[in-house]
Amino acid sequence: MSSNTKASRIGEELWKTRVDKVNAELVTLTYGTIVAQLCQDYDGNYQEVNKQLEKMGYNIGMRLIEDFLAKSNVGRCANFRETADMISKVGFRIFLNIAPTVTNWTSDNNQFSLVFDENPLAEFVELPDDGRAQDELWFSNILCGVLRGALEMVQMQIEAHFVSDVLRGDDTTEMRVSLVRYIEDEMPPEEE
């Protein structure tokens, strides 16, 4: 597929030339500390931790998108399939140096999965064995928020959630992304 390889090329090129690198352990440890702290603050209420992580990601995504656009200089995607490719091959490549596999499309082209072969956020992580974290905590949930925030800024309302995670003993780490709607030009509520 030509757009597929094009996105890969853009991603590789940007990763090599335009991205400042930081130590991976710094990222892993920082993120791990945040999640652990949230688990402590919310007293093991993992649903709430998932929610907070998603919210933090959302705020990151809304800012990160400008960096993505400024660096990549790409135009608007023609369809959601192209968007998925951009997310995987350019977005994840330049920010985490991974390119999750885009797969499991629904026939209406509005839903796909990202399958993570590697996940820098979750390296060295073992979920607490309190009998609940394995079933309730989505450790990398911040990524769902990042996608939601970033895509909202470019007029796409989406919903993203993890459906499996190797940390929980699943075979794969998979995120499901669904397009809710394209946001037409409208006044933001705070300006009314």
Partner 1 sequence: MTVFSLIIINKAGGLIYQREFQPGLRKLSTNDYLVLAGTFHGVHAITRTITPKLPLLTPTAIASTPTSASSNLASPSGTSTPIPPTTTTTTIAAATTPSVSASSYTYPILGVPATGLESLETDKFRLTCFQTLTGTKFLLFTDPHMANIEVVMKKIYDFYADFVMKNPFYQLEMPVRCEAFDRNLNGWLRGRT
Exposed / middle / buried, residue 123 (Cβ in 10 Å: 0-12, 13-18, 19+): middle
| Beta carbons of 91 and 74 less than 8 angstroms apart | no
| Interface stretch with partner 1, choices 25-33, 66-74, 140-148, 161-169 (CB under 8 A) | 66-74
In terms of CB distance, is 34 or 166 closer to partner 1? 34
Q: Judged by CB under 8 A, which of 47, 73, 104, 172 binds partner 1?
A: 73
* DSSP letter (8 states) at residue 112: E
Handedness of CA 91, 160, 75, 153 (dihedral sign): negative
| Beta carbons of 105 and 29 less than 8 angstroms apart | no
56 binds partner 1 (CB under 8 A): no
User: In the bound complex, what is the minimum distance in angstroms from residue 34's beta carbon to partner 1?
Assistant: 14
| Beta carbons of 83 and 151 less than 8 angstroms apart | yes
188 binds partner 1 (CB under 8 A): yes
| Interface stretch with partner 1, choices 38-46, 134-142, 159-167, 178-186 (CB under 8 A) | 178-186
- Mapped onto helix, strand or coil, the DSSP state of residue 103 is strand
| Beta carbons of 115 and 172 less than 8 angstroms apart | yes
78 binds partner 1 (CB under 8 A): yes
62 binds partner 1 (CB under 8 A): yes
In terms of CB distance, is 47 or 73 closer to partner 1? 73
Give contact residues for partner 1 (rule: CB under 8 A): 62-67, 69-71, 73-79, 82, 153-155, 182, 184-185, 187-188, 190-191
